[in-house]
């Protein structure tokens, strides 16, 4: 397992730093660092890797705190058609540490979930104007729980509207079956804008709820981040997801990178 983790980290890092020098037919568009997914697919024959190089978050309650750390979680995408890409997601190393007053600290280390997604662009992939896609997904645990007892699956529909001046507003709606137990509804809205030179930023509201009851569990965050993209085919980013409600992780900070390169026949 340790060798698998190290190999996965090395693979993701090598792809990110080996970004190409030839631009694709459409601008780089990523499903991170905001939580709202992009409606644009990866160009046919191209590979794109997006990685949370390092993330750390914390939830504090009356009984103690839980801290989660992830290293080199990545999403590797391949454009199989003009408007379709397939995506493989994996978290090679995750640590969860629980601290409770009066009890020994509890720590768990190992691989995180693995996932498969398809992105099918419905409109606006290669032309200006609104864009829309559907994104079905499924995630399974790689340790501990039985795979099919704990599968998380669902579908989201992201949209994006060009506001001019390199500004864009994106939104997403969908649903997921978490751990094959509860059905959650998902919604988000994100605004991206240039800042200066190769720097841009975003602000976002993300909401996920386990149904519509007043006491339903939820995951509601206010998110903000900065990207640095000196090249058409790669970018770096950093930011924070800030929990708004009591059942949400209090905060999560991240540093990430994304890159793409052309594998299509020359």
> Which domains does the chain possess?
2-254 (2.40.160.40)
Query: Distance between CA atoms of 176 and 191, rounded to whole angstroms?
Result: 24
Query: Distance between CA atoms of 57 and 10, rounded to whole angstroms?
Result: 24
Residues 6+ apart with CB under 8 A from 201: 192, 193, 195, 224, 225, 226, 227
Ramachandran angles phi, psi of 12, nearest 5°: -65, -45
Greater model confidence, 54 or 104: 54
| Helix H or strand E encompassing 27 | none
Q: At which residue do the structure tokens 């994996």 appear?
A: 90
Greater model confidence, 11 or 51: 51
pLDDT in tens, 96-135: 999 987 777 788 999 999 999 999 999 999 877 899 999 9
How is residue 155 written in tokens?
């579908």
Phi-psi region of 92 (alpha: psi -120 to 50; beta: other; left: phi over 0): alpha
Among candidate residues 113, 96, 101, 124, the one with its CA nearest the CA of residue 252 = 96
pTM of the model: 0.87
Which pLDDT band holds residue 149 (cuts at 50, 70, 90)? low
């Amino acid at each position: 397992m340790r060798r698998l983790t190290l190999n996965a980290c090395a693979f993701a890092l090598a792809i990110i730093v080996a970004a190409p020098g030839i631009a694709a037919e459409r601008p780089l568009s990523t499903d991170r660092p905001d939580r709202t997914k992009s409606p644009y697919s990866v160009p046919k024959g191209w590979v794109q890797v997006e990685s949370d190089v390092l993330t750390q978050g914390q939830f504090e309650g009356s009984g103690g705190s839980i801290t989660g750390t992830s290293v080199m979680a990545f999403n590797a995408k391949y454009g199989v058609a003009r408007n379709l890409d397939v995506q493989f997601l994996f978290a090679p190393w995750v640590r969860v540490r629980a601290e409770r007053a009066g009890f020994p600290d509890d720590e768990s280390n190992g691989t995180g979930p693995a996932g498969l997604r398809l992105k099918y662009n419905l409109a606006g992939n290669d032309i200006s104007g609104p864009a829309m896609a559907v994104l079905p997904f499924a995630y399974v645990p790689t340790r501990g729980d039985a795979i099919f007892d704990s599968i998380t699956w669902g579908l989201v529909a992201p949209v994006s509207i060009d506001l001019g001046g390199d500004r864009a507003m994106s939104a997403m709606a969908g649903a997921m079956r978490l751990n094959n137990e509860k059905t959650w509804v998902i919604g988000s809205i994100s605004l991206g804008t240039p800042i200066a030179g190769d720097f841009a930023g975003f602000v976002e509201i993300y909401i996920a709820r386990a149904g519509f009851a007043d006491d339903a569990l939820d995951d509601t965050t206010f998110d903000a981040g900065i990207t640095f993209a000196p090249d058409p085919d790669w970018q770096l980013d950093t930011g924070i997801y800030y929990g708004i409600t009591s059942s949400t992780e209090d905060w999560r900070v991240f540093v990430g990178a994304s890159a793409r390169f052309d594998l299509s026949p020359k």
